[in-house]
Amino acid sequence: MFYAAKAFCCRGVLRWVTEEGLGVDVCTGGELEVALQAGVPPEMITLHGSNKLESELARALDTGVGHIVVDSFEEIARLAYLTDPPVPGRGPAGAGGNGSSGKRSRRERVQREWCGRERVHRNGAGGNGAADRAVGKEATPRPRVLVRVTTGVEAHTHEFVATAHDDQKFGFSLSSGAADEAVRRVLACPGVELAGLHSHIGSQIFDTDGFEAAARRVLSLAVRIRDEHGIVISELNLGGGLGIAYTPDDDPADVKVIAQNLHEIVRSQCAAAGLAMPRLTVEPGRAIAGPGTVTLYEVGTVKDVDGLRTYVSVDGGMSDNIRTALYDAEYTCVLASRESAAPPMLSRIVGRHCESGDIVVRDSYLPSDVVPGDLIAVAATGAYCRSMASNYNHVTRPAVVAVRDGAARLLLRRETMDDLLRLDAG
So which residues are the catalytic ones?
Answer: 354
Collapsed DSSP state (helix, strand, coil) of residue 224: helix
User: One-letter amino acid identity for 357?
Assistant: G
Q: Please check whether residue 194 is in contact with residue 180, taking contact to mean a CB–CB distance below 8 angstroms.
A: no
- Strand, helix or coil for residue 365: strand
DSSP E strands in 178-308: the ranges are 193-198, 235-237, 279-281, 294-305
What helix, strand, coil percent values describe the chain, rounded to 5? 30, 25, 45
Report, in angstroms and rounded to the nearest whole number, the Rg of the chain calculated over CA atoms. Answer: 24
Give the separation between CA 396 and CA 16, rounded to whole angstroms.
26
DSSP string, 165-209: SSSSSSSEETTTTHHHHHHHHHHT-TT-EEEEEE---BSSB-SSH
DSSP secondary structure letter of residue 72: S
Residue 205: phi, psi to the nearest 5?
A: -105, 135
CA dihedral 343, 322, 48, 55 (to 10 degrees): -150
User: What residues contact residue 419 under an 8 Å CB cut-off, 6+ apart?
Assistant: 396
